Amino acid sequence: MKTNASAPLARLREQHPAPRLPRILVHCGTAGNAMGATRYLEELRIALGDRSDSVVEAASDGANWAAPAATVAQGTYMRRFERLDLHGIDDVIACFNGDCGDEANYAGTGGRGLTARLGRNDGTLGDVLAQGGYSALDRALTSTPEQLLDAIEDAGFTGRGGAHFPVATKWRLAAADTHRPRMLVVNAEEGEPGVFKDRHLLEGDPHRLIEGILIAHYAVGFERAYVYINGQARTARAIFENALADAAAAEIFSGAAWNQTFGLKIHVRSGAGGYVCGEESVILNSIEGERPVPRYKPPYATDRGLFGNPTIINNAETLCAITTVFEKPPPPTKLVSLSGDVPRPGLYEIPVDGATTWTSLLVMAGTNPLDVQAILIGGPSGVFVMAEQFEEVLEMRSLGAGGVVAFGSNTDLSQITRELASYNMRESCGECTPCREGTTRMVALLEHPAEHRKEIANLIEILTEGSLCQLGGMAGRPIQSALDQFPTAF
């Protein structure tokens, strides 16, 4: 997607030329490798002989159900070949040689949204630039920071971590405080079970996050950025750090490519382990080397955050999404990590446009909604949505961080509820009494829920009203939801 590239961007593209086509992208990464994708990387290279350098490693494109998979890129045409373990590689080679059959292009080039390049690039800067990388930053640099903030505000961008706070409003809070060094913390912890979007973004399109960080930096003026990546997402961290090194070498990160001095220092930190590490203030403690427990608010991070400085904490997805701000119209999309009893689990970028329903999501995932008795939105802090509610229109707010688990008709939902309570008990940091003691007591009470209806209700209230942070504050939510939605299951 080459749109009105400025001279500096054009120069970058010259220095980092696009890869030669056709070529075959084998979707490896964490999701692909789990299904043995690297084997096909080798097989395809052997099969192509002296053209083996046209077989390149790419990350997952989000279609986890399709792994091991490969995508053939032919000019403006792309086609994904799924389940190579079942279908072999012959069709892939045929397509590479020009015979792709008559199936439609599944995504095509020049896509929109934040997954446009996801897993469909080989990680080189040339490939990323050719697919529109850094054009949003290029565009942002032609406006003033204030105009940029206005554009983000006009586009109605909200945070994608679950709270959906307006991005421009948050950024302005820090931008105003020019006396102290300002900090950006990128939350890529995603400790919530069933959420895997940040890992995909970091593995499949790390330059989009870098671009988002630089756009934020241009708008606010940070001294430092900390990217806090889930401690187990080692592949994601390694790929992201490689991309950072490439962006630095190309003088993108310093701003020199645009004859500017961004002056941003960036640090990558691995998460300290635990669901609670995704909580904003826990991240701050963790980065500072303190015990990973929450801080009370106020003071808010925008006032006294990391090392006592004004700090913006944005979800990785939020910063990736910011790169789509100049798309007309900016797509109101949300990444959904869909898992459970569906034929096509994986990462979906769905439009939150007033038309999408849970049903459409389930259909997308290849299931008959009638086979699903309930879905859980938001994991251990979430709520159950029952079959009769599947026609509800999706809103950003109802999606949380985008974790969706579908339960088929054979699933014992009461057991799921107990497992969620038990998860919250295990993951409680132990700092405050309601959460530490309450989640433990809740597990015991759920052994015999029918006899303890009143106690459970009381405990939910104590957790909700009394806890220090939202792990405890929302630990009662799935239980309340279960009691509301399927009381007879207990």
Partner 1 sequence: MMATSPTNENSILDVIEASVTIIVNGREVLVPRSAMLLDAVLAAGIDLPHLCKPESRNPLGACRTCLIEIEGTPRLAASCHTPVADGMIVNTTSERVTRVRRGVLDLTIGMSDDGRGRGLAAEHARSHGIEMSSFTPSPRHPRDESNIFFQLNMSDCILCGRCVDACQRTQHIGAIGINGRGETARIGSAFDSLWEESTCTSCGQCVSQCPTGALLPKHSDPATASRSNSANDDVTTTTCPYCGVGCGLKVHKSNGQISWVDGDHSNDSSQGMTCVKGRFGLEFAQSDERLTTPLIRRNDKLESASWDDALDLVAHRFADSIGSFASIASAKATNEDGYVLQKFTRAVMGTNSVDHCSRLCHAPSVVALMEQVGSGATSNSYEDYDQAGTLLVVGSDTGQNHPVVASRLRRAVQERGASLVVVNPIRIDLCDTAEVHLQPHPGTDIALFNAMAHVILKENLQNNAFIDSRTEGFDAWRKVVEQVSPEIAESITGVSAKDIRTAARLYARPQPGQNGEERGSCLIWGMGVTQHTMGSDNARSLINLALLTGQVGGFGNGISPLRGQNNVQGCSDSGCLPNVMPGYEPVDDLEVNARWSKAWDSDLPTDPGLQSTAMIERMLTGDLKAMYVVGENPLLSDPYLAHAREAFERLDFLVVQDIFMHETAEIADVVLPAVSFAEKYGTFTNSERRVQLVRPIIEPLGKARDDWAITNEIARRILQILERSAFGFQHNSSTEIFEEMTKLTPIIAGLSHERLEQDGGIQWPCPDYEHPGTPRLFENSFPRGRGKFVAVEQGPPAAELPSKKFPLTLITGRSLYHWHGGVITRHVPGLLATVPVVTVDIHADDAKRLGFSNGEDVQIASRRGEIVAEVHISDRMQRGEIFVPFVQLQGVAANFLTNDQLDTAAGIPEYKACAVRLEAPGTPSRKGRGPRMQRKSGITVGNRT
Q: Which of 194, 441, 478, 481 binds partner 1 (CB under 8 A)?
A: 441
Q: Which of 2, 45, 304, 436 binds partner 1 (CB under 8 A)?
A: 436
Q: How far is the CB of 177 from partner 1 (least distance, A)?
A: 11
Q: What is the helix, strand, coil percentage profile of the chain, to 5?
A: 45, 15, 40
Q: Which of 146, 150, 392, 465 binds partner 1 (CB under 8 A)?
A: 465
263 binds partner 1 (CB under 8 A): no
CA angle 98, 102, 106 (to 5 degrees): 90
What is the dihedral sign for C-alpha 467, 469, 335, 348? Answer: negative
Question: 118, 198 in Cβ contact below 8 A?
Answer: no
281 binds partner 1 (CB under 8 A): no
Q: Which stretch of DSSP H or E encloses residue 420? A: helix 413-427
397 binds partner 1 (CB under 8 A): no
Angstrom distance (rounded) from CA 282 to CA 303: 16
427 binds partner 1 (CB under 8 A): yes
Contacts of 286 (CB under 8 A, 6+ apart): 228, 269, 271, 272, 277, 292
The residue (of 227 and 474) whose beta carbon lies closer to partner 1 is 474
Cα dihedral value 243, 266, 281, 436, nearest 10: 50
Q: Specify the stretch interacting with partner 1 by CB under 8 A; choose among 193-201, 339-347, 414-422, 459-467.
A: 459-467
Q: Which of 426, 451, 484, 487 binds partner 1 (CB under 8 A)?
A: 426
The residue (of 53 and 288) whose beta carbon lies closer to partner 1 is 288
CA angle 105, 112, 126 (to 5 degrees): 85
59 binds partner 1 (CB under 8 A): no
For residue 268, the 8-state DSSP code is E
Q: How far is the CB of 314 from partner 1 (least distance, A)?
A: 24
Q: Which of 428, 446, 456, 481 binds partner 1 (CB under 8 A)?
A: 428
446 binds partner 1 (CB under 8 A): no
Three-state SS at 418: helix
Q: Specify the stretch interacting with partner 1 by CB under 8 A; choose among 33-41, 241-249, 334-342, 428-436.
A: 428-436
Helix intervals (H) in 366-405? 396-399
480 binds partner 1 (CB under 8 A): no
* Residues in region 287-316 near partner 1 by CB under 8 A: 291, 296, 298, 308
180 binds partner 1 (CB under 8 A): yes
Q: Which residues pair with 228 in a beta bridge?
A: 187, 269
Which residue ranges make up the site for partner 1 (CB under 8 A)?
Answer: 179-180, 274, 291, 296, 298, 308, 425-434, 436-441, 444, 455, 458-459, 461-462, 464-468, 473
